[in-house]
Homo-oligomer: A and B are copies of this chain.
Amino acid sequence: MKQEQTEPSGKSISGGINYPVPAREQRGTLGNMVFATEKLLLARILRAIGNPPVQLVLWNGHGISNHGGDAVARVLIRDRGALLKLVTNPELYFGELYTAQRIEVQGNLLDFLEAVYRVWLLRNQGKIGKKLLAPFYDARRNSLSGARRNIHHHYDIGNDFYKLWLDERMLYTCAYFTSSSTSLEDAQLAKLDHICRKLCLRPGEKVVEAGCGWGALALHMARHYGVTVTAYNISKEQVAFARQRAHAEGLDGQVEFIEDDYRNVRGEFDAFVSIGMLEHVGRENYPELGRVAKRALTAEGRGLIHSIGRNRPEPFHAWIEQRVFPGAYPPSLGEMMQIFEPSSLSVLDVENIRLHYALTLRDWLQRYEAALESVRAMRYDEPFVRMWRLYLAGSIAAFETGALQLFQVLFTKQENNSIPLTREFMYPR
């Protein structure tokens, strides 16, 4: 998915630094001082983001370059306010300013983001990130009401918007690509089956789903695995959509969608499944999630939690946490264990499929870019369009560079000996 953008002037970024370098002799003393100060600020920004191979250029054509002709992209800073904001907090304000069109990335946006991620990860694995992000750590608590507010922010912006670029089943979580050429539709279908197989679903069993999105997994389990499903979600729009679908597909007797928090799950089930909800649960609530799952499971019940994660404890990128997913957090595997260990749940299987999320996001970004006319024809303005582009492209970069992981964790109660000896059942031929 290439997003070639050329500068309005038509200049190419390849082949060396080609911004006009103002000759010193043409300037007065004041001009020279301003120029020197600007260069210092640009150098400071470059340093703060780990000296990636990029060019930074100002509205007036001044600029600096880190790697000369090898720069993967040129970042055009359009005004002095933007420059100053970038100096104070590049991680947060890059997204803000890009969204507001006060920064342009000339060249391939994705290459640029991956280059930035790579140096950021190399620079002592996230120390910079931690420091820059410190002010935002004290995220928005996911209390029962806080969770509703946070979820509403992202998931209730309009089903029609998501329909434009998600797969036909409306799955907004990592797909499962049996090969890198699998289509998104097939990969999402394969994901559903991969999860159902891991859960060893048998006809007639009862499943509870915590955080069910637009209901695709619940409906798939009911239709293809003969189970009854109780699915929880606190996104009003998603639940309304899922109920309509269940009715249209004649599955409303078999699948119940409940607009409520996972903490209010009641009853006993043969399987507990939660796909892409943990990111919104909040670390302080992990032990409670484990207790909820344990309480919900029968003696032979199986549980699966699927979540974005990290190699080590570290919050989401500040801009993502502020503007895209308020209150969200990608746990390390060690942090995830705070779900299972306090309840002595047995972790049977962990699969990390981060590269599948990069592939999923590449498809989403491609479809999103292809649907831009429709996005604009709806009520969405240019900053919205750019925010979503940056979020999707940045996420690809994060999964491809290993800054983010995707964990699927299969678990049971401690004394459950009923799981097959080997994992071959997950890979039928």
Q: Which residues of A contact B (CB under 8 A)?
A: 118, 121, 125-126, 176-180, 311-313, 332-334, 337-338, 340-342, 344-356, 400-403, 405, 413-417, 419, 421-424, 426-427, 429
Look across to chain B and name the residue whose beta carbon is closest to the beta carbon of A341.
Answer: B312
Contact status A342-B312, CB under 8 Å = yes
CA distance A121 to B346 in the complex (A): 13
CA distance A233 to B142 in the complex (A): 49
Which residues on the B side are within 8 Å of A338 (C-beta)? 334
Contact status B312-A344, CB under 8 Å = yes
If A118-B415, A176-B422, A401-B415 are given as contacts, then 8 extra A-B residue pairs at C-beta distance below 8 Å, sorted by A number, are A178-B422, A334-B337, A346-B352, A347-B350, A355-B417, A423-B423, A423-B426, A424-B427
Asked if A341 meets B332 with Cβ closer than 8 Å, knowing A421-B177, A421-B180, the reply is yes
Partner of A311, one of B177, B345, B402, B405: B345
Cβ of A302 to closest chain B Cβ, rounded Å: 13
In the complex, which of the residues A400, A402, A419 has the most CB atoms of chain B within 10 Å of its own CB atom?
A402
Which residues on the B side are within 8 Å of A344 (C-beta)? 121, 125-126, 311-312
Cβ of A198 to closest chain B Cβ, rounded Å: 11
Which residues on the B side are within 8 Å of A333 (C-beta)? 333, 337, 340-341, 347
CA distance A176 to B353 in the complex (A): 24
Look across to chain B and name the residue whose beta carbon is closest to the beta carbon of A182.
Answer: B421
CA distance A352 to B340 in the complex (A): 14
Contact status A352-B355, CB under 8 Å = no
CA distance A341 to B331 in the complex (A): 11
A-B contact pairs, 30 of them (CB 8 A): A118-B415, A121-B414, A121-B415, A176-B422, A177-B421, A178-B424, A311-B340, A311-B341, A311-B344, A311-B347, A332-B337, A332-B341, A333-B333, A333-B337, A337-B337, A346-B354, A346-B402, A346-B405, A347-B352, A347-B405, A348-B352, A350-B350, A351-B423, A355-B421, A400-B417, A402-B413, A402-B415, A422-B427, A424-B427, A427-B427
Which residues on the B side are within 8 Å of A402 (C-beta)? 346, 413-417
CA distance A421 to B176 in the complex (A): 9
Look across to chain B and name the residue whose beta carbon is closest to the beta carbon of A336.
Answer: B334
Asked if A125 meets B311 with Cβ closer than 8 Å, knowing A179-B421, A347-B350, the reply is no
Which residues on the B side are within 8 Å of A178 (C-beta)? 421-422, 424
Look across to chain B and name the residue whose beta carbon is closest to the beta carbon of A122.
Answer: B415
Cβ of A158 to closest chain B Cβ, rounded Å: 33
CA distance A347 to B310 in the complex (A): 10
Which residues on the B side are within 8 Å of A415 (C-beta)? 118, 121, 401-402
In the complex, which of the residues A180, A338, A422 has the most CB atoms of chain B within 10 Å of its own CB atom?
A422
CA distance A401 to B414 in the complex (A): 7
Cβ of A321 to closest chain B Cβ, rounded Å: 20
Look across to chain B and name the residue whose beta carbon is closest to the beta carbon of A332.
Answer: B341
What 7 A-B pairs come out closest when comparing CB atoms?
A: A334-B337, A350-B350, A402-B414, A125-B344, A312-B341, A311-B344, A348-B352
CA distance A418 to B352 in the complex (A): 13
Contact status B346-A311, CB under 8 Å = yes
Cβ of A310 to closest chain B Cβ, rounded Å: 9
CA distance A354 to B313 in the complex (A): 28
CA distance A318 to B424 in the complex (A): 37
Cβ of A406 to closest chain B Cβ, rounded Å: 11
Which residues on the B side are within 8 Å of A413 (C-beta)? 402
Which residues on the B side are within 8 Å of A416 (C-beta)? 402
Look across to chain B and name the residue whose beta carbon is closest to the beta carbon of A416.
Answer: B402
CA distance A121 to B121 in the complex (A): 42
